[in-house]
């Protein structure tokens, strides 16, 4: 089985090469044929990234993860040949600033997309063995549902909510939301919010954009990953963004990009929130 690491924004820094090689060896020990990025500029950076990504897609890896998660760049998304991605049938997985690219894949291809680990950062943690098992299970199991393990969760809602999961790292998601490369949030969707919230001002800035794009008004619920602030404080601040708080369905405490482990979620797939018993399933 083939797994690929690919570059989206730039090339692997020398300071990250040791961790990258450790990740390569980890997957080789698991029996994977690891496809690695060329990590060099032949013409210009953007063209080199595009050509290398196409080379990887032509090899049709079963699973493909970004090497790292520096801030996304719409120029890469503009250059992707989506027909090659579709033909590859590759399952993509990643987190943080790769979010716009993951959501663009959902819009332009039928490929499966997971919000989960990146290739370098997550597979150099002590939790990598558990993460690996969860990743393989999520990528290979069809139409199965299990309860997610949240960290000190906070729930605000009164019923069972089911919806189509979209989103990810919220600042990059919102920056590219109106570019045409990300599908608009609908009344059928549950919005996943991951991010680095250090204070109330960080949340207020996100809420302002969510309301500007009428996302809070449309989404059936929002799922928020743990961040720098306490979950209760995150919940209270987000609830202030709803014009009608009685209609708000909010959960805080998913394991996201700032957690030792990360809840691996299928984007563009149904997720269920049971507010009666305070549980989340996918």
Host H or E run for residue 200 = helix 200-212
In this structure, are 174 and 66 located in the same domain?
no
Give the pairing of strands 279-281 and 270-274.
antiparallel
Q: Count Cβ atoms below 10 Å from residue 148 Cβ, excluding itself.
A: 20
- Contact between 7 and 48 under an 8 Å Cβ cutoff? The reply is no
182 belongs to a structural domain:
yes
What is residue 72's predicted lDDT score, i.e. its pLDDT? Answer: 66
Query: Which residues sit opposite 114 in a β-bridge?
Result: 93, 266
Question: 271 and 164 in one domain?
Answer: yes
In which domain, by residue range, is 71 found? 2-140
DSSP state of 215: H
Q: Single out the residue of 64, 121, 51, 119 nearest to residue 91, CA to CA.
A: 64
Distances (CA, A) of 159 to 143, 151, 182, 222: 23, 21, 29, 14
Coil, strand or helix at 247: helix
Q: Looking at residue 41, which CATH number applies to its domain?
A: 3.40.50.10740
Alpha-carbon span 2 to 31, nearest angstrom: 9
What is the token pair recorded at 202? 């960080």
- 195 near 171, Cβ under 8 Å? yes
Residue 148 belongs to a domain: no
pLDDT in single tens digits along all 282 residues of the chain:
999 999 988 889 888 999 999 999 999 999 999 999 998 877 788 889 999 999 999 999 999 999 987 776 778 899 999 999 999 999 999 999 999 999 999 999 999 999 999 999 999 999 999 999 999 999 998 778 899 999 999 999 999 999 999 999 999 999 999 999 999 999 999 999 999 999 999 999 999 999 999 999 999 999 999 999 999 999 999 999 998 898 899 999 999 999 988 999 999 999 999 999 999 999
Residue 176 lies in a domain: yes
What is the per-residue DSSP string for 139-154?
HH--S---B---SS-E
Does one domain contain both 244 and 168? Answer: yes
Number of H helices, E strands in the chain: 10, 13
Number of domains in the chain: 2
Q: How many residues does the chain have?
A: 282
> Considering 111, 140, 169, which residue would you say is the last residue of a domain?
140
Burial label, 34 (beta-carbon count in 10 A; 0-12, 13-18, 19+): middle
Token couple for 260: 């030792």
11 in the same domain as 124: yes
């Amino acid at each position: 089985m083939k797994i690929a690491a690919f570059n989206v924004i730039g090339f692997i820094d020398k300071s990250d090469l040791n961790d990258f090689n450790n990740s390569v060896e980890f997957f080789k020990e698991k029996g994977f044929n690891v496809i690695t990025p060329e990590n060099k500029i032949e013409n210009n950076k953007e063209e080199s990234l595009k050509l290398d990504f196409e080379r990887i897609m032509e090899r049709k890896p079963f699973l493909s993860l970004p090497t790292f998660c520096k801030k996304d760049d719409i120029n890469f998304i503009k250059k992707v040949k989506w027909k090659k991605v579709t033909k590859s049938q590759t399952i993509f997985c990643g987190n943080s600033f790769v979010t716009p690219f993951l959501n663009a894949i959902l819009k332009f291809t039928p490929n499966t997309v997971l919000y989960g680990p990146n290739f370098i950062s997550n597979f150099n943690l002590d939790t990598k063995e558990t993460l690996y098992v969860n990743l393989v299970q999520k990528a290979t199991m069809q139409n199965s549902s299990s309860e997610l393990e949240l960290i000190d969760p906070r729930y605000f809602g009164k019923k069972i909510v089911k919806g189509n999961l979209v989103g990810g790292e919220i600042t990059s998601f919102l920056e590219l939301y109106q570019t045409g490369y990300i599908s608009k949030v609908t009344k059928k969707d549950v919005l996943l919010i991951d991010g680095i919230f250090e204070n109330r001002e960080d949340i207020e800035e996100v809420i302002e954009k969510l309301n500007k794009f009428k996302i809070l008004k449309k989404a059936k619920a929002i799922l928020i990953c743990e961040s720098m602030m306490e979950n209760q404080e995150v919940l209270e601040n987000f609830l202030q963004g709803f014009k009608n708080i009685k209609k708000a369905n909010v959960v805080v405490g998913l394991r996201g990009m700032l957690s030792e482990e990360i809840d691996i979620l299928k984007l563009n797939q149904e997720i269920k929130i049971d507010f009666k018993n305070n549980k989340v399933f996918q």
